Amino acid sequence: MQYIKRDSWLTLILCSVLGGMILVNTMGYPSNQGQGFGQGPGFYPQVLAWFLILLGVLVVFQDIRVGISEPGEHLAAKDPGQAGGGWLVPAVIVVCLISIATMELCGFLLSGFLLTLVTVRLIRDGAQVDNWFVDLGFSACIIALVFLLFQLFLGIQLPQSMFLL
């Protein structure tokens, strides 16, 4: 067990859960008995699911094999550490979620503007009051550019709000 790396465990769990979900979900699919080959729409996903589970097991097996045959190499191998700024990714994802969820309510112009502004402020090192005006201006310019390019030039309608923003 000590030979198995953390990301190999996670890979096995991912493959098992995903493969298992596919197998359970496709159990109820019709099998088209009597039609030539006799397998239905669930056949191909089931083949993929079994392959996925097998590969997950092989990843762990590979770690064990390397660990037993080359223990020094295994000890030298470390899981990559967390890079700096670990809170930034979940924060940006949450901001994106909120922006997309409110896009139909507020329209792209407003939600896109706020998304840009908030992510600029989150990413910027050393946020200061002076930067606010620059960041506001940048966010407005990006949204204006998108509006000009997509809606006016290309004729692609951007998401509009209930209040026609």
Partner 1 sequence: METFDLVTAGFSSFTNFYSIFLVIAGSFLGIFFGAIPGLTATMGMAIFLPVTFTMTDLNGIIFLVGIYVGSCYSGSLSAILVNIPGTPSAIATSFDGYTMAQKGRAGQAIGYSTISSAIGGLFGIIILMFAAPLLASFALDFGAQEYTGIALLGISVVSYISFGSTLKGLIGGIIGLMLATIGQDVISGYPRFTFGSQNLQAGLQMIPVMVGFFGVTEVLTKLEQQGALPVLTSKISNVLPKISKLYRMSPMMAFSSTIGTFIGAVPAAGGAIASMAAYGIQKRFSSKSEQFGTGIPEGVVAAEAANNAAVGGAFVPMLSLGIPGDPQTAILIGALMINGLAPGPMLFLTRPDLISTIYLSNVLSVITFAVIGLMGARYYARLLLVPRHYLLPAIMIFCIIGSFAIRNTVFDIWVLLGCGVLGYLLQKIGIMPAPVILGFVLGPLLEDNFRRSLIMSNGDWTTFLTRPISLGLIVINIFILLGPYLISWVKKKRAVSGDGSAT
Residues within the interface to partner 1 (CB under 8 A): 7, 10-11, 14-15, 18, 22, 25-26, 29-30, 32, 36-45, 48-49, 51-52, 55-56, 58-59, 62, 83-86, 88-89, 92-93, 96-97, 100, 103-104, 108, 112, 115-116, 119-120, 123-125, 138-139, 142-143, 146, 149-150, 154-159
**Closer Cβ to partner 1, 72 or 86, answer by number:** 86
CB of 158 to partner 1, least distance (A): 7
**Closer Cβ to partner 1, 30 or 72, answer by number:** 30
CB of 76 to partner 1, least distance (A): 17
- Number of other residues whose CB lies within 10 A of the CB of residue 136: 15
CB of 165 to partner 1, least distance (A): 15
Q: Give the integer Cα–Cα distance in Å for 8 and 86.
A: 21
Task: Return the exposure string of 81-91: e unless at least 16 CB atoms fall within 10 Å of the residue's CB, then b.
Answer: eeeeeeeeeee
Q: Give the integer Cα–Cα distance in Å for 142 and 131.
A: 16
CB of 12 to partner 1, least distance (A): 10
Q: Give the integer Cα–Cα distance in Å for 132 and 61.
A: 53
Radius of gyration of the chain (CA): 25
